[in-house]
C-alpha cells in the first residue's frame, strides 16, 4: 500500500541568498546599522547575546552569509538560518522552528530607513535574532515553542501563546549584574525601543507566565511594560506549564 507523504507548508516559502548580488552600498548600510547599535548593546545586551554574536561570526563590515552561520550553529545547537521569500503564515513559521530552522529574509532596508522598517529584514532577523540561537536553553525553548504551536489549530489559543513569544523572543529582558539587559530581537535591533527601556520610560516587571499571557500585544507604540526573566530556564519551563494546561483542558 502506498504511503502518502505530506510536504511541509514551509517548503513553499524557501528561497536562496544571492550573496554576490549585494552591492557595496548595501554592505555599507549593514556596517552603519551595526556600528549604530553595538556601543549601546555592549553595555546593555545580555551576555548570551554578545557571546552568540561572536559564535556565529557576524561581521561588522559585511552582510552575513547565511550558510556560514548555519555551519557554525549546527554543531552547537543544531539550528540553521534558512533564507525565505518573506512573510510566512503562522503554521509554516512554526513548522520551521520545530525543525530548528529559522526563516530569514535576505533583503536589507534602504539607507533612508535605518531607524525603522515595517517588516523584518536581514538586519532584524540575523543581527536581532540569530545570536541567541547559539545559546542551548534558548535554542531548545524556540524549537519547543514551534512544536507546540504547530499542533494547535485554535487561533485564540495561538494568540495567547504568541504573547509569550512577543515578550521573550521579540522583546525579552533578563536580569544580569544588577540591571535588566536586553536579548529580544526587537530591542536588540531597534535603538528607539532599547533606549525606551534603558531610560526608564518602560516599566519592567519580573517575568510571570500568567501576566505575560494576560498582557495584549501593542505594535503601534513604544512599550510601556516589559518583563525580565532571571534565567532562560524560566521561559523553557513556561512552555511545560502551557502544555500541561492544554493537556488537562484548562484555559491558556
Q: Catalytic positions, please? A: 124, 129, 170, 189
Burial of 51 (0-12, 13-18, 19+ CB in 10 A): middle
- Using DSSP, state whether 178 is helix, strand or coil: coil
Candidates 209, 129, 120; CA nearest to 163 is 209
CA 213/CA 216 separation, integer angstroms: 8
CA 178/CA 21 separation, integer angstroms: 45
CA 123/CA 117 separation, integer angstroms: 10
Q: Crossing angle, helix 66-77 and helix 136-150, to 10 degrees?
A: 100
CB 71 within 8 A of CB 65: no
Q: How does strand 101-104 pair with strand 80-83?
A: parallel
Candidates 147, 152, 157; CA nearest to 97 is 147
Q: Crossing angle, helix 136-150 and helix 232-247, to 10 degrees?
A: 20
Neighbouring CB atoms inside 10 A of 55's CB total 19
- What cell numbers appear for 124 in the block? 532584524
Amino acid at each position: 500500500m502506498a504511503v502518502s507523504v505530506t510536504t511541509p507548508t514551509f517548503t513553499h516559502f524557501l528561497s536562496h541568498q544571492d550573496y554576490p548580488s549585494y552591492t557595496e552600498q548595501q554592505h555599507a548600510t549593514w556596517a552603519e546599522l551595526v556600528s549604530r547599535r553595538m556601543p549601546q548593546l555592549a553595555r546593555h545586551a545580555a551576555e548570551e547575546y554578545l557571546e552568540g554574536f561572536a559564535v556565529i561570526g557576524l561581521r561588522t563590515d559585511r552582510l552575513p552569509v547565511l550558510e556560514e552561520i548555519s555551519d557554525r550553529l549546527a554543531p552547537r545547537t543544531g539550528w540553521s538560518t534558512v533564507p525565505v521569500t518573506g512573510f510566512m503564515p503562522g503554521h509554516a513559521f512554526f513548522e520551521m522552528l520545530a525543525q530548528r530552522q529559522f526563516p530569514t529574509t535576505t533583503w536589507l532596508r534602504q539607507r533612508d530607513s535605518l531607524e525603522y522598517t515595517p517588516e523584518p529584514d536581514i538586519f532584524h532577523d540575523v543581527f536581532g535574532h540569530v545570536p541567541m540561537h547559539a545559546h542551548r536553553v534558548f535554542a531548545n525553548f524556540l524549537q519547543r515553542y514551534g512544536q507546540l504551536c504547530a499542533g494547535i489549530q485554535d487561533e485564540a489559543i495561538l494568540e495567547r501563546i504568541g504573547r509569550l513569544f512577543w515578550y521573550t523572543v521579540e522583546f525579552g529582558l533578563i536580569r544580569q549584574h544588577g540591571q535588566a539587559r536586553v536579548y529580544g530581537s526587537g530591542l536588540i535591533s531597534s535603538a528607539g525601543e532599547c533606549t525606551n527601556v534603558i531610560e526608564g520610560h518602560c516599566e519592567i516587571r519580573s517575568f510571570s507566565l500568567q501576566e505575560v499571557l494576560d498582557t495584549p500585544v501593542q505594535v503601534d507604540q513604544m512599550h510601556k511594560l516589559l518583563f525580565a526573566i532571571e534565567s532562560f530556564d524560566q521561559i523553557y519551563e513556561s512552555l511545560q506549564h502551557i502544555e500541561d494546561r492544554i493537556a488537562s483542558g484548562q484555559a491558556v
